[in-house]
Chains A and B, each alone.
Chain A
Amino acid sequence: MSANTPVIELRNVDKSFGPIDVLHEISLKVRAGEVLCLLGDNGAGKSTLIKTLAGVHAPTRGEILVDGQPTTFDGPRDAQDRGIATVHQFGGTYPLMSIGRNFFLGMEPTKGFGPFKVFDRAKANRIAVEEVQKMGITRITDGDRLVGGLSGGERQSLAIARAVYFGARVLILDEPTAALGVKQAAHVLRIVNEAKKRGLAVIFITHQVMHAMTVGDHFAVLIRGAIAADFRKGEKTREEITDLMAGGETMADLEASIEGYMETHEGHPPKVAPAE
């Protein structure tokens, strides 16, 4: 396998649920140290695509290649074992559990023998705090703190640090910045860059074009389950991308029509029928 082999690749993947086609002929590749931004409006099939990548759904047709080898995942755990980690919008963290327990959930370090294997809290807390700090979150110093007390950005960072620590090679970030403020989002974007520097292949799902353009190397726009555009950094402007996501109807057209209306109506924007 050469350095240029994509870590993960989809070839003509279709996914249907019964008679409903959700994904159609999806082809994607991500290399190590590269960020692929997957853009799409709500309902474009982003979640289904993530779940297919994460081993939750098996593709109806087409193949998934890991390191160039055709692969079928037996479930999310199997995908994880192959280094594919998904971090969801709310971090997949448990607010009433401590940072150390969250970090090692499902992979608990233990000490002792036989039936008396004890969860090694001190070790879990120490490693969790170290790893999160390495990601640049220096405010976290106590592994016993409950995750519910962290900010949204810190939770995301915890989840990303966890994935990196457990040997993820592909990091799927599902709308990590959607629920965050400007500062928090910048934080998460920095961590995405950090993960990229460490040689992870990152799939960054978002509908915020600005965030995508900050970290992305490669972009794919998903519309109604199909890839409508696939381009590299610098090939398209922000407006062009936004227009693509809106499904062809350009924002500029929309603005022009509103302005036209305002000119003929003494500067009032068009009336919108109030919701019943």
Chain B
Amino acid sequence: MDMISSVLRRPAAASFLSLLGVLIFYVIFGGVDLGKLAGAASWVNYAARIGIVALPVALLMISGEIDISIGAMIPAGAMTTAIIAGHYELPMILAVIAALAVGVLVGLFNGLLATRTSVPTLIITLGTLVGMQGIVLAGSKLLTGAASVPLNAPDWAKTVFGDFIFGGSHQVVIIWWIILTAVFWFLMHKSKYGNWIFAIGGDKVSAKNAGIPVDRITILLFIGTATSASFVGMCHAILFNSAQVSGGMNDIFNIIVSVVVGGVLLTGGFGSILGVFIGTITFAIVIKGIDFTAIDRNWANLIIGVMLLAAVGMNETFRKKALTAVTKKKKG
């Protein structure tokens, strides 16, 4: 019992239970073959795509801010890559640098506005979201005359950013996702910077008074979200040899839902990387795994809605548990 309650008090508990719940539901009502599901690439590819962005978004949300401009940054990264390497036929390395630079610039812009003004970051990044959508659409029409641009990626770029691995249909971004999860886990839970981010989300003024460079960290976190989004867009353009202007509205909510199911508190100060990792997998299994069940895929959104509410409810309960728990020191 003691062990169960100490597991439940971890921020990842709710996401783990959500995953378990979804799997049980799919097995009982969808007759899913778990072995087949585990071997399938579709949901893992999808999880990697949203997971790479969900990690920095989780950090940002733990620090008490939010970034919805990621929705525009995925197509922005893809279009930048395609326009430079495809339309202008410049070296791929330039396209990669430019795509990441666009992310850094937009992140810097968001971060500076967030730290210099008192406008809520939901509004600031709503502005950049819509603004970037305009820039991407108008810019690609202006430069290429089309909203869809093909490109040919050289072998090295394919291998690193956009290839299939294990000779199957798993994408190389999965490896990026796993490496980044390890990096973010270390950053958040093992290094002192994680402590700072939790503190910023807990009480910004006190964190500042404790000497933590709150503004610099906030700006870096915004750079992280925007750059990771444009990175994902770039990988996709390289993988599919083309890029289209798209709204990316779905991505915003999918990523935020993954983070929240992963146990991150919307008001900041609480969450874990393991939770976000599991939350992303859960989300991807609901969306893509439904194809392996007998359930009509149109029901997927309902499942997500229910899962989101259930996860938030569980998080609430477990957090209360964590706050009231009086643990005994285990000795010897």
Return the contact of B210 from the options A56, A92, A148, A149 (Cβ within 8 A). Answer: A92
What residues of chain B lie closer than 8 Å to A148, measured between beta carbons? 323
Q: With A and B bound together, what is the CA distance between A56 and B211 in angstroms? A: 11
Q: With A and B bound together, what is the CA distance between A142 and B325 in angstroms? A: 11
Given the interface contacts A105-B212, A142-B327, A145-B325, does A96 sit within 8 Å of B319 by beta carbon?
A: yes
What residues of chain B lie closer than 8 Å to A95, measured between beta carbons? 202, 269, 323
In chain B, what residue has the closest Cβ to A51?
B209
Chain B residues bordering chain A, tally (CB within 8 A): 30
For window 313-331 of B, CB contacts with A under 8 Å fall at 319, 322-329
Return the contact of B265 from the options A96, A108, A119 (Cβ within 8 A). Answer: A96
Is A110 on the interface with B (CB-CB < 8 A)? yes
Q: With A and B bound together, what is the CA distance between A86 and B322 in angstroms? A: 28
Is B199 on the interface with A (CB-CB < 8 A)? yes
Q: With A and B bound together, what is the CA distance between A148 and B325 in angstroms? A: 10
Q: How far is the CB of A86 from chain B (nearest CB, A)?
A: 7
Is B36 on the interface with A (CB-CB < 8 A)? no
A92 lies within 8 A of B203 (CB): yes
A94 lies within 8 A of B265 (CB): no
Q: With A and B bound together, what is the CA distance between A148 and B194 in angstroms? A: 19
A96 lies within 8 A of B202 (CB): yes
What residues of chain B lie closer than 8 Å to A96, measured between beta carbons? 198, 202, 265, 269-270, 319, 322-323
Is A144 on the interface with B (CB-CB < 8 A)? yes
B195 lies within 8 A of A105 (CB): yes
What residues of chain B lie closer than 8 Å to A110, measured between beta carbons? 191-192
Q: How far is the CB of B319 from chain A (nearest CB, A)?
A: 7
A106 lies within 8 A of B210 (CB): yes
Given the interface contacts A96-B265, A149-B326, does A105 sit within 8 Å of B209 by beta carbon?
A: no
Q: With A and B bound together, what is the CA distance between A149 and B131 in angstroms? A: 44
What residues of chain B lie closer than 8 Å to A119, measured between beta carbons? 190-192, 194-195
Interface of B is mostly: helix
> Number of contact residues on A: which range applies?
20 to 34
Q: How far is the CB of B312 from chain A (nearest CB, A)?
A: 16
For window 145-175 of A, CB contacts with B under 8 Å fall at 145-146, 148-149
Is A207 on the interface with B (CB-CB < 8 A)? no
Is A265 on the interface with B (CB-CB < 8 A)? no
For window 281-332 of B, CB contacts with A under 8 Å fall at 319, 322-329
In chain A, what residue has the closest Cβ to B200?
A94
Is A88 on the interface with B (CB-CB < 8 A)? yes
A117 lies within 8 A of B322 (CB): no
B211 lies within 8 A of A106 (CB): yes
A94 lies within 8 A of B209 (CB): no
Q: With A and B bound together, what is the CA distance between A196 and B192 in angstroms? A: 32
Given the interface contacts A86-B209, A88-B206, A106-B211, does A97 sit within 8 Å of B199 by beta carbon?
A: yes
Is A184 on the interface with B (CB-CB < 8 A)? no
Given the interface contacts A76-B211, A118-B190, does A94 sit within 8 Å of B328 by beta carbon?
A: no
In chain A, what residue has the closest Cβ to B192?
A108
B206 lies within 8 A of A106 (CB): no
Q: How far is the CB of B322 from chain A (nearest CB, A)?
A: 6
Q: How far is the CB of A27 from chain B (nearest CB, A)?
A: 25
Is B196 on the interface with A (CB-CB < 8 A)? yes
What residues of chain B lie closer than 8 Å to A80, measured between beta carbons? 211
A94 lies within 8 A of B199 (CB): yes
Counting from the closest, the 8 A-B pairs by CB-CB distance are: A94-B202, A108-B192, A92-B206, A77-B211, A106-B210, A148-B323, A96-B270, A96-B269
What are some 28 contacts across the A-B interface (CB < 8 A)?
A54-B209, A80-B211, A92-B206, A94-B199, A94-B203, A96-B198, A96-B202, A96-B270, A96-B322, A97-B199, A97-B202, A101-B195, A105-B210, A106-B210, A106-B211, A108-B192, A108-B195, A110-B191, A110-B192, A119-B190, A119-B191, A119-B192, A144-B327, A145-B326, A146-B323, A148-B323, A149-B322, A149-B324
Question: Which residues of A does B touch, CB under 8 Å?
Answer: 54, 56, 76-77, 80, 86, 88, 92-97, 101, 104-106, 108, 110, 116-119, 141-142, 144-146, 148-149
